[in-house]
Amino acid sequence: MVMKPRNFNKDFAFGEITFVKPASSEDMKQGIDAWLGGIPFAWRKRRISVTKYSEISIRYSRSNNSKTEYAKILDGSFKPQIYLFEFIDAIVICLTSDIYDCLTNRDYIVQSNPDNSTTGCYIKLESIKHLMVERNG
């Protein structure tokens, strides 16, 4: 007979990871894509290899003039503390405070995106502190 430790249920519940999808207003107004363990995260997905350009990007402007990540980070309304950039072969993890530093130091370039309705703010990986986790397979 296998016995569970006396506090198994309590320990199991304590170890559970809390993941919450934000309300749409949190995403639109504050840039929050997910809450993990009570910490707000932003997440950007790209359909390219991280090695293609070796950079991360955030939205700089939209043709409809709606507020972008660039503006939200600079004015303080962007609440995620951690920003994940998902590529087909890796995930790059940055602190929003480090992105803010690159923006205020103008350590980026702005380019039109292929959709012709947005521009991106591109930061070279060599210019920002980051953690890169390569995907297996």
For residue 99, count CB atoms less than 10 angstroms from its CB and return exposed for 0-12, middle for 13-18, buried for 19 or more: buried
Residue 97 has pLDDT above 80, yes or no: yes
Q: How confident is the model at residue 26 (pLDDT cuts 50, 70, 90)?
A: confident
CA distances in angstroms from 35 to 27, 30, 80, 107, 116, listed in the order given: 11, 12, 9, 29, 32
Q: pLDDT higher for 47 or 17?
A: 47
Q: pLDDT higher for 123 or 24?
A: 123
Average pLDDT estimate for 82-111: 98
**So what's the pLDDT on residue 20?**
75
How much of the chain exceeds pLDDT 70, in percent? 92
Q: Are strands 39-45 and 34-36 parallel, antiparallel or unpaired?
A: antiparallel
**So what's the pLDDT on residue 117?**
93
Average pLDDT estimate for 106-115: 94
Q: Tokens 């950079």 belong to which residue?
A: 55
Residue 13 has pLDDT above 80, yes or no: no
Structure letter (DSSP) for residue 81? S
Q: How confident is the model at residue 5 (pLDDT cuts 50, 70, 90)?
A: low
Q: How confident is the model at residue 134 (pLDDT cuts 50, 70, 90)?
A: very high
